Structure 1
């Protein structure tokens, strides 16, 4: 390790200018703003500790669901009922409960439809003529039928007959609901037509309770497409009735496999549970054979999932089904399943889906936190990529690196936000960005780097990620241009975490802190400040300047070599270098000097040099003339203007 050199004063009388780097650029940097101590706007509370952990009196409510539905594949309609058991662990009584009605996005007069631009959008409908949304009937609470409710766009307010008591009060309410599945539902749910029948990817399909928390109370932000979900944890008992020639998969434990599979399929299903290699449960050649399904008109598939905040499912006559065992660090196991049509089979495509699913979940379980669910189901659909607990919908045309990438990403979401339940509706970067970060590490190691791309320069995306026209990362997804969502929710936060891990904190300390964040917030609801505080407390670093510039604001970094001289005009006595911080975002300094003989000398300086300076001058311990002095020689920092990073001898 090269010693870090600090100088507080230099005697300019004994120095002679060796080279001038031209006219000085005006600095935008304000060190009192960058390192201000007012980043956190509130102190820790009994609910959320200043250490970034849940406080000693942290609480959250819970919602468990018993759902029975039927799929009519003739008219693409789902009808059923849901009974919800809600527990109020908050310190206040509740007079009403808010629910999310996400299918109402597909009403032609919804707010979401009104805000979709004329150009192509991920969040629109495939057909302007489709008019979806819920029909809701027979709303009851604690078996009382005189319950009043009101529906406003994608939200429903249920007025309780009597207040729900604080600190453990419980209420059960039920309703009947039905809706038509949209062909293309905002790239989260939909219907894919194949040669052997439709594939129904069914999500956001039942009325779900909004979160009541200590930050905003009821979180009732309308669902307009870009922002995803914020839901309470609970248990799910689900019965799905479908035509008998369908196979129905859900992110949960199948309770009655002997009733819904043929004997041969049942044997293969059990074989897959103990096999490290993919086992075909229903092959392509069997799809068109009536004998590959039980000889009945319809079947009811019974599923259970515990301690989750959502469920989704898929159903089709067209499914090839295969599976394999997922090995978990504790010695437990789960079952990886893939369901896909013949059009997705072959050519390094979906026949490897189960391999990818298994590898992804095994990696994240070992590296970060053990996977909690009994299955992990990957479904080929017309949804490009969407995650729900224990099940993912991925594009049916994906193959090779694209299929690995989307599979790994969607199953990575089981950690963010399925286990660590952040508010995606407001803070999409806390799931997409964190997930993209762990995806990068997973891809490096999968199958000895089969799909890992080694980029020549890690900061090559700087002009895109730090474009001055971008919104800040901490804006809500609804408050960003749709074209910027990929940058601001996915790539920039992931870049920031890599920068913290590799260059500012160090891998060992960062990984330990990141694991601690997952551990203490598993099955809870962290906010941005909780994450920021925890990383600082666990690593011992003051990172206010980093959060402020990279997340709260869209600041740019611009360091420049502004002066190079020799000590007393004698190259044998070392060189004096000045670096200016021209941008608003401070960063550590790494500089490489190359001597006439080709020797390379590297000096690293911490970000603290910028706590009270806009220029920093330091000594390079050289003993001969220099030919080049270069900032950021490894190209790891997001310098927006690399043109002023290098000095060359004249």
Structure 2
């Protein structure tokens, strides 16, 4: 039987005398310096009237907005996408803007792209990038004026005929463009083959506004390899494709009667009321012309998604398509959908994809924040795993537990960064890591733990205990700290640091440092407070401290600013005054720069056990410390962190056994 006690305070004289005596006899050289670990933390971003010291938007907080109307045509034979867009841009900032900056990310696939030189070996395939045909500005009077523009890698600067006024100035930007869809080398956007036709995964397919914010002004980081930082707005877009293609896209399909048959419409309606997956277009129907409302020419698919930071679509004549109802809080519902080729079908693979997205969306909605969209779609292709608002591009080859983990992770990105709109090109750990963190508990929840615990390369690379796995990162002198710009993190460390270390840091906060009873409400409130806004690392740090009532400066410094190591040790165990009936004196020490609260387990000779919680404040003034453990029985051994709950880099000194 295990009994839990808390640290019993002793007189100052006994504490310091005992500590000094045992330390002199047993302590190895320590790298720990309390004044360094517990020094005041310098937040990366200052508190201002825009962002407060409590981690919340301030009284002068503002955020610009970009609404999009897009009409595009996809020509599969030539892989050419032609588009026209109108961006309604609203300047809520206190600054007049004489230029606008946009992302033109198809230029990432040019031979002279900056990203071609920094992300591993030089690519073998390219396109000729983005072609801008015209740019015009429509002012308040509705008159169109040609605007000058200049392309710089994956960015485009538009020079306005007259400055856009501060405090709610508005204009409409008209852009015509075209590009060639990259092959499978496109990564996040591509065309890939199946036996019944190509699958087009269309993302980064329109010039889109850069963010202008209070932190950096225009955020114009080029697209090298990391993901996105985008403004919020409403998207109304139409995609024209050959008659035999199925299109799945972000948001609501506004004209289903024009692009679906009566049978497909009936099946979709059935799926909206079904917790079981309903087949909308079966494998047997993929090559049947009668599953299309016409047998020649083209069809235009019209979609809309609101309060979003992006919109994408997938298109193929090879799609199987199925769907089921998602049950959301407060009686609301959405539709889970999957589109995949026949090669991916079957209950061992994509036949369960809709089940996976339904369950994970329901769990995340209940646990953290309600899902905001009307559809949640998985599209199978070669993108591997890529998230967008209300739709994900997932590997067509994934199966079983890997497919579940992939789908849960990608739809989990709805919460980070689709709802909480972090800057992924600077702070990918606030996106990938936070999402991996919520995945951990979803894996426990799904189908009574069918695939639990979560042990994929994104969370536990060696599939072992995360506390022990992370030691590989903490002891690697070349591993970058979490507060490293995302584009500077080598591929070798992207998953171990950006995903795993960030996620495990939140697990430590929740389960070891703060406790779920305080962490969970604070984390939910963080999501709610920063929903559809752009928090910085400092906003997160300040918010969690303020809401949980903890000074976490030591954790932000050791885990995020630096890659510090933790090495706790038990150095001695002795009876009080030589008499076990008076209790035991256990000397614990902190030998490296990181600190953690921990559990001390005392095992008695009769086999019984007692636990003592050792708070992190133990180390504010001490390198070693003598804990008095009440008891009347002889002690056999004492172990710090017996359950491997914290990332101790050297467990050889964690146990002291009395001989």
TM-score interval (norm. to shorter): over 0.9
Between 519-528 and 345-354, report the one with greater CA deviation: 345-354
For residue 309 of structure 1, report the CA deviation from its aligned partner.
Answer: 0.4
SS of the aligned residue for 1:2 comes to strand
User: Which residue among 113, 118, 128 is the counterpart of 1:115?
Assistant: 118
2-side partners of 1:285 and 1:409: how far apart? Answer: 30
Query: Which one is further off, 38-47 or 640-649?
Result: 38-47
Maintained 8 Å contact 1:46/1:55: yes
Secondary structure of the equivalent of 2:329? coil
TM-score computed with the length of structure 1 as normaliser: 0.96
Structure 1 259/592 Cα, relative in aligned 2: closer, same or farther at 3 Å? same
Cα distance, 1:214–1:14 mapped onto 2, change above 3 Å:
closer
Question: Which residue does the alignment assign to 1:121?
Answer: none
Q: Is the counterpart of residue 39 in structure 1 residue 42 in structure 2?
A: yes
Give the corresponding residue for 2:513: 504
Q: Where does residue 63 of structure 1 map in the other structure?
A: 66
CA deviation after TM superposition for structure 1 residue 267, in Å: 1.2
| Match 1:136 to one of 132, 135, 149 | 132
Matches within 5 A, 1:385-396: 385-396=385-396
Deviation of 1:322 after TM superposition, in Å, equals 0.6
Give the deviation of 1:608 after TM superposition: 0.7
Deviates more, 1:69-78 or 1:288-297: 288-297
- How far the C-alpha of 1:390 sits from its partner, in A, is 0.3
Answer with 464-473 or 152-161: which moved more.
464-473
Q: CA deviation at 1:18?
A: 12
Cα deviation, residue 458, structure 1: 4.5
How has the CA–CA distance of structure 1 residues 586 and 14 changed in structure 2, closer, same or farther, with 3 Å as cutoff?
closer
Task: Return the alpha-carbon distance in structure 2 between the equivalents of residues 320 and 454 of structure 1.
Answer: 29
Deviations 1:91-145 (A, max 9, x none): 1101101001111110011000011322xxxxx75xx243241011111011534
Q: Evaluate the alpha carbon distance shift between residue 351 and residue 90 of structure 1 in structure 2; reply closer, same or farther with a 3 A threshold.
A: same
Write out aligned runs for 1:406-417 (5 A). Answer: 406-417=406-417
Contact 2:440 2:453 in 1 (8 A): no
Alignment-derived partner of residue 451 in structure 1: 451
> Secondary structure in 2 aligned to 1:291?
helix
Deviations 1:456-489 (A, max 9, x none): 7441213223133210011022111111000111
Give the superposition deviation at 1:56.
1.4
1:32 Cα offset (Å): 1.2
Scaled by the length of structure 2, the TM-score of the pair is 0.94
Report the alpha carbon displacement of residue 347 of structure 1 after superposing the two structures with TM: 4.3
Partner secondary structure for residue 236 of structure 1: strand
Is 1:592–2:613 an aligned residue pair?
no
The alignment status of 1:648 with 2:657, answered yes or no, reads yes
Aligned counterpart, 2:100: 97
Distance 1:496 1:12 in 2: 32
CA deviations on 1:539-578 (whole Å, 9 max, x unpaired) are 1010010111111110111111122222111222111111
**Hey, what does 1:559 align to over in structure 2?**
568
**Does the 8 Å CA contact 1:20/1:563 hold for their aligned counterparts?**
no
Question: Aligned partners of 1:502 and 1:141: how far apart in 2?
Answer: 53
What secondary structure is seen at the aligned counterpart in 1 of 2:198? strand
Aligned to 1:27: 30
Question: Is this contact kept in 2: 1:90–1:167, CA < 8 A?
Answer: yes
1:476 aligned to 2:485? yes
Any conservation in 1 of the 2:73–2:83 contact (CA below 8 Å)?
A: yes
**Shift in CA distance, 12/464, structure 1 to aligned 2, threshold 3 Å:** closer
1:7 is displaced (CA, Å) by: 3.0
Query: Which of 80, 100, 113 does residue 83 from structure 2 map onto?
Result: 80
CA distance in 1 between partners of 2:521 and 2:20 (Å): 47
Cα distance change of structure 1 residues 454 and 217 upon mapping to structure 2, 3 Å threshold: closer
Aligned to 1:289: 288
CA contact (8 A) 2:600 2:612 kept: yes
Segment drifting more, 556-565 vs 197-206: 556-565
Indicate conservation of the 8 Å contact 1:595/1:622, yes or no: no
Segment drifting more, 435-444 vs 325-334 = 325-334
Contact 2:229 2:421 in 1 (8 A): yes
* CA deviation profile, 1:290-337 (whole Å, cap 9, x unmatched): 111122311000000100000110000100011111111122211111
- Counterpart pick for 1:466 among 461, 474, 488: 474
- Structure 2 vs 1, CA of residues 449 and 103 (structure 1 numbering), >3 Å: closer, same or farther? same
Aligned to 2:206: 206
**Alpha-carbon contact 2:145-2:161 (below 8 Å) kept:** no
SS at match of 1:330: helix
Q: Deviations over 1:26-59 (max 9, x none)?
A: 1111111111114236653211011111111110
Contact 1:211-1:230 within 8 A present in 2 as well: yes
Partners of 1:516 and 1:129 in 2: CA distance: 45
Alpha-carbon deviation of 1:625?
2.1
Residue 261, structure 1, aligned to residue 260, structure 2? yes
Distance in 2 (CA, whole Å) between partners of 1:75 and 1:44 is 52
Q: Is the 8 A contact 1:4 1:605 kept in 2?
A: yes
Measure the CA separation in 2 of the matches of 1:433 and 1:269: 35
In the alignment, which residue of structure 1 is the partner of 2:460? Answer: none
Deviation (angstroms), 1:289 = 1.1
1:82, distance to aligned residue in structure 2 (A):
0.9
Structure 2 matches for 1:307-386, cutoff 5 A? 307-386=307-386
CA deviation map 1:359-388 (0-9, x unaligned): 111111111111111111100000110000
| C-alpha distance in 2 between matches for 1:57 and 1:487 | 38
Q: Aligned runs of 1:159-174 on 2, under 5 Å?
A: 159-174=159-174
Deviations 1:473-527 (A, max 9, x none): 1102211111100011111111111111111111111000000000000000000
Query: Matches of 1:11 and 1:209 in 2, distance apart?
Result: 65
5+ residue gaps, structure 1: 119-123
User: Is the CA contact 1:15–1:565 (under 8 Å) kept in the aligned structure 2?
Assistant: no
Q: In angstroms, what is the RMSD of aligned CA positions?
A: 2.0
What is the alpha-carbon distance in structure 1 between the residues aligned to residue 45 and residue 277 of structure 2? Answer: 52
1:486 to 482, 486, 495: 495
Distance change (3 Å), C-alpha of 1:494 and 1:410: same
What is the deviation of 1:14? 10
* Separation in 2, partners of 1:12, 1:410: 52
Give CA-to-partner distance per residue, 1:148-196, whole Å, 9 cap, x none: 1100000000011111000100011111111111112452111220000
Q: Which runs of 5+ in 2 are unaligned?
A: 456-463
Q: Which residue pairs with 1:215 in the alignment?
A: 215
Distance 1:41 1:476, change over 3 A: closer
C-alpha displacement of 1:8? 4.9
